[in-house]
Amino acid sequence: MKRQPQPKALGSFKNSQLPGFDDLVARLHLAPESGQIWLDGKRMFMLHLSAFGALRRELIESLGIDRARGLLTRMGYLAGSKDAELVNSVRKDSSVYDAFSIGPQLHALEGVVRVEPVVVDVDVARGRFYTEFLWWGSIEDEAHTADYGVAADPVCWMQIGYASGYSSAFFGRRVIYREVECGAMGHEACRIIGKPVDDWPDVQEDLRYFDAQPFANRKIISLGAQNAAIPSHFEQASAVENLHKSRFKGRQLIGISAAFNSVCHMIDRVADTTAPVLLLGETGVGKEIFAQTLHAVSPRAEKPFIAINCAAIPEALVETDLFGVEKGAFTGATISRP
């Protein structure tokens, strides 16, 4: 079991300047003749930002925003916790501030973002942790705005995971960062705040992105194999192609766009309730298929699904047969109908 990084100098500190990069740069080795890049004995690799952006876009459009965010957050968390291991070999005799700065500096050295400390107040011995940083030139900001334009919510998911993973490994307790301002939203820079998990209100909203979740459309996909265990994301994904085996009797519900996944997510949320659902859209976009899917994943799945084409029924008949009528309400209403 690997020993968690434990800097020797403990205490409270506040600072606004990062130390020099020379000792970290010395740990970076490029070996082009063997096709390898190493950082303190751990293999790294370079990737075009446009390629990362394409991967990010594919994740969003195939899994939906929530699950794509969770995947990238967890990937960043692992990277941050791995980088924290350098504290044992670099600056192990330095102050807490210099040791902690390895994370923000590696984030810059790896080409992800430039980090500017605003408030760093950490006392490992007393269990106090509060940090605030500015991020400049975030790769996730650039990737997101290139594909989607100005964002409505913070988008630096992988970087938040990295900061949380690094700080948690360094501090010895779980630390969660939140992005309170984001360059992709139009702010001058991204601003993040990190605190122990117990110090955050409504922390479950953050923690759900750090825990692995099933593949998108899990309830809908499971219709095709209700009695079979689905142990992996890939098997769940392949189940989409076998929806013809489900109770839909040949009706396939297949899609990968963000809009499609958003609708599936809303169906998943409302399926267990008795709330009425209104599906809007042009002719031919699949409203009836989604309605059948909603019925199939609801507690009323064993009851009949009744489809009514109101356009083919006279208005008076719709009112009397569907909504009931009191005797004498209009001409021809000779009896009351519930």
Query: According to the model, what pLDDT value does residue 240 have?
Result: 37
Q: What stretch of H or E contains 220? A: helix 218-221
Query: According to the model, what pLDDT value does residue 175 have?
Result: 93
Structure tokens at 72: 């990238």
Q: Could you tell me the pLDDT band of residue 322, with boundaries at 50, 70 and 90?
A: low
pLDDT tens track for 100-134? 888 999 999 999 999 999 988 888 778 889 999 99
pLDDT at 202 over 80: yes
pLDDT at 51 over 90: yes
Q: What stretch of H or E contains 195? A: strand 190-196
Sequence letter at residue 250: G
Query: According to the model, what pLDDT value does residue 293 have?
Result: 86
For residues 156 and 177, is the Cβ–Cβ distance under 8 A? no
pLDDT at 68 over 90: yes
Strand pairing category for 128-136 and 114-123: antiparallel
| CA 327 – CA 67 distance, rounded (Å) | 55
pLDDT at 3 over 50: no
Query: According to the model, what pLDDT value does residue 7 have?
Result: 42
pLDDT tens track for 239-262? 433 333 333 343 456 665 556 766
pLDDT tens track for 298-321? 888 888 888 877 777 777 666 666
SS3 content of the chain, % helix, strand, coil (to 5): 45, 15, 45
Q: Which residue has the higher pLDDT, 117 or 274?
A: 117
Task: Kindly write down the DSSP assignment for every residue of 124-180, as one continuous string.
Answer: TTTTEEEEEEEEES-HHHHHHHHHH-S-SS---HHHHHHHHHHHHHHHSS-EEEEEE
Query: According to the model, what pLDDT value does residue 255 have?
Result: 64
| CA 162 – CA 81 distance, rounded (Å) | 7
pLDDT at 284 over 90: no
Neighbours of 57 (CB within 10 A): 17
Which has the minimum average pLDDT: 31-40, 44-53, 279-288? 279-288
Query: According to the model, what pLDDT value does residue 121 have?
Result: 87
Query: According to the model, what pLDDT value does residue 214 have?
Result: 45
Residues 6+ apart with CB under 8 A from 159: 76, 107, 112, 113, 135, 138, 140, 190, 192
Structural domains of the chain sorted by starting position, each given as residue range(s) with its CATH number in brackets:
22-207 (3.30.1380.20), 218-302 (no CATH), 308-338 (no CATH)
Query: According to the model, what pLDDT value does residue 334 have?
Result: 61
Query: According to the model, what pLDDT value does residue 139 have?
Result: 96
Mutual angle of helices 157-171 and 139-148, in 10-degree steps: 160
Apex 308 CA angle, 302 and 312, nearest 5: 165
**Residue 250, by phi and psi: left (phi above 0), alpha (psi -120 to 50) or beta?**
left
Query: According to the model, what pLDDT value does residue 244 have?
Result: 31
Task: Kindly write down the DSSP assignment for every residue of 93-137, as one continuous string.
Answer: TS-HHHHHTHHHHHHHHTTS-EEEEEEEEEETTTTEEEEEEEEES
Structure tokens at 291: 């309605």
pLDDT at 219 over 70: no
What is the rounded average pLDDT of the residues 170-188?
92
Query: According to the model, what pLDDT value does residue 114 have?
Result: 94
If we measure between CA atoms, which residue out of 131, 147, 139 comes closest to residue 72? 139
Q: Could you tell me the pLDDT band of residue 267, with boundaries at 50, 70 and 90?
A: confident
| CA 329 – CA 337 distance, rounded (Å) | 11
